[in-house]
């Protein structure tokens, strides 16, 4: 995506084209398991929708610029003068930061990359990545920079991380008339489009409410990340057991459960493959020694896997569940997984979320219900 492709006048048409292509793709591939006639389509704001962004720094003489590279042209950077996809806070910080960098040789020398992490309320964290060691000659002007820009700052070089302020921001998401707080840590995965994330959480919340009883049913969540879905969906279930393998994400998820006063969710650091083995009784795990899996009434399971989709063991784990909530960032692997689940489940609801406008990418949400 380049800045020239971002045209709000064309936004609705490009979204319709993407949805049409996805319908065709799934219609051709799913001979026995058709999409519902009506699917939910969630549009993004056409501008200022990205809460985070990353730019290379291109040095030209004594001046540095923001730059990007087109796919397949890694040696041909193009200069970024503005970034209309970025949040209003990113738009405000970009020129201010660049001016400060160009005015100070200790800040710009061998600077390689700049990352912005922002929130809807205007919090910001900037990361400067260097191809040189960082010392006091960097720290002193960087400390002044923090005061001038009014945001957190992290300096990174090989095996070095210097944090000036906090290494996270706190995002507020409004879902179904309730506000949730999320810690979003530098280098940790977060949904880049906050407006779409709110809609995605709201859709999942409505679907879970339709198919489950808060007094009786429990939720198993795989790939929970920083607790994005865990926090918003906990109120729809009696209990939640969530798993995540990344230590950084687990730490943020625990923070987010506490910050939102969620007391019916338990988090375990383990992979989906390990949990599959534990639930099948293949072998015990020390991390589950204080958790009685048999005490849960798992009616529903939520999966939000990486682009590779679900492995065979996890697909086997899902088949006994009455309801599967599948959030997918890759329609190709989603299709493959749906073929594997075809004999046990049917598609009850389908949604698309335009997480990345002006690109071919679409996120999908699927509700699968067990055949009676």
Q: Which of 295, 353, 354, 344 is nearest to 324 (CA)?
A: 344
pLDDT for residue 1 is more than 70: no
pLDDT for residue 76 is more than 90: no
C-alpha–C-alpha distance, residues 299 and 320, integer Å: 9
At 214 the pLDDT is 85
At 161 the pLDDT is 96
pLDDT for residue 295 is more than 90: yes
Percent of the chain that is helix, strand, coil (3-state, to 5): 35, 30, 35
Q: Which of 151, 208, 224, 329 is catalytic?
A: 329
Active site residue 329: yes
User: In sequence order, what are the residues at sequence separation of 6 or more whose Cβ sits closer than 8 angstroms to the Cβ of residue 23?
Assistant: 35, 39
For residue 33, what pLDDT band results from cuts at 50, 70 and 90?
A: low
pLDDT for residue 163 is more than 70: yes
pTM given for the model:
0.94
Give the range among 61-75, 329-343, 352-366 with minimum mean pLDDT: 61-75
Determine what percent of the chain is predicted with pLDDT higher than 90: 83
Active site residue 363: yes
pLDDT for residue 17 is more than 70: yes
At 280 the pLDDT is 80
pLDDT for residue 157 is more than 80: yes
Residues 304 and 327: beta-carbon distance below 8 Å: yes
At 276 the pLDDT is 86
Please name each of the domains of the chain with its CATH number: 3-46+193-370 (3.40.50.150), 52-169 (2.40.50.1070)
Mean pLDDT of the 17-42 span: 83
User: In sequence order, what are the residues at sequence separation of 6 or more whose Cβ sits closer than 8 angstroms to the Cβ of residue 343?
Assistant: 371
At 212 the pLDDT is 87
pLDDT for residue 2 is more than 60: no
C-alpha–C-alpha distance, residues 263 and 197, integer Å: 23
For residue 129, what pLDDT band results from cuts at 50, 70 and 90?
A: very high
Residues 183 and 259: beta-carbon distance below 8 Å: yes
pLDDT for residue 34 is more than 80: no
pLDDT for residue 268 is more than 90: yes
Per the prediction, the chain carries an average pLDDT of 93
**Highest mean pLDDT (candidates 150-154, 271-275, 279-283, 286-290):** 150-154
At 372 the pLDDT is 84
**Highest mean pLDDT (candidates 31-35, 86-90, 280-284, 310-314):** 86-90
Mean pLDDT of the 137-159 span: 96
Q: Which of 64, 236, 363, 364 is catalytic?
A: 363
pLDDT digits (tens, 9 = 90+) for 200-259: 999 999 999 999 888 899 999 999 999 999 999 999 999 999 999 999 999 999 999 999
At 28 the pLDDT is 75
User: Which 3 state secondary structure label does DSSP give 183?
Assistant: strand
Other C-beta atoms within 10 Å of 205: how many?
18
For residue 31, what pLDDT band results from cuts at 50, 70 and 90?
A: low
Mean pLDDT of the 343-359 span: 95
């Amino acid at each position: 995506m380049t800045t020239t492709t971002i045209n709000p006048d064309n936004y609705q048409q490009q979204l319709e084209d993407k949805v049409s292509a996805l319908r065709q793709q799934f219609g051709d591939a799913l001979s026995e398991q058709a999409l519902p006639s009506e699917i939910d389509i969630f549009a993004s704001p056409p501008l200022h929708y990205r809460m985070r962004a990353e730019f290379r720094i291109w040095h030209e003489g004594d001046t540095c610029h923001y730059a990007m590279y087109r796919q397949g042209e890694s040696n041909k950077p193009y200069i970024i003068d503005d970034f209309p996809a970025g949040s209003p806070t990113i738009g405000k910080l970009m020129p201010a930061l660049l001016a400060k960098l160009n005015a100070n040789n200790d800040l710009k020398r061998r600077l390689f990359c700049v990352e912005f992490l922002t929130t809807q309320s205007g919090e910001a964290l900037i990361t400067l990545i260097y191809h040189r060691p960082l010392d006091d000659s960097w720290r002193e002007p960087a400390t002044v920079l923090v005061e001038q820009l009014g945001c957190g700052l992290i300096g990174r070089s090989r095996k070095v991380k210097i944090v000036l302020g906090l290494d996270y921001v706190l995002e507020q998401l409004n879902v179904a008339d309730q506000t949730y707080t999320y810690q979003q840590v530098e280098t940790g995965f977060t949904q880049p489009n906050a407006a779409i994330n709110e809609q995605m959480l709201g859709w999942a919340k409505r679907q879970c409410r339709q198919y489950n009883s808060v007094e009786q049913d429990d939720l198993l969540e795989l790939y929970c990340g920083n607790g994005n879905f865990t926090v918003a969906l906990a109120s729809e279930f009696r209990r939640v057991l969530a798993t995540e393998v990344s230590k950084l994400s687990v730490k943020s998820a625990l923070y987010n459960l506490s910050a939102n006063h969620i007391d019916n969710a338990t988090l375990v650091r383990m992979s989906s493959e390990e949990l599959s083995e534990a639930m099948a009784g293949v072998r015990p795990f020390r991390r589950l020694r204080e958790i009685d899996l048999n005490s849960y009434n798992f009616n529903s399971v939520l999966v939000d896997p990486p682009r590779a989709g679900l492995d065979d063991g996890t697909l086997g784990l899902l088949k006994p569940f009455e309801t599967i909530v599948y959030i997918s960032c890759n329609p190709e692997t989603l299709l493959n997984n749906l073929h594997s689940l075809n004999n046990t489940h049917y598609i009850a609801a389908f949604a698309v979320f335009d997480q990345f406008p002006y690109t071919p990418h679409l996120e999908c949400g699927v509700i699968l219900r067990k055949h009676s």
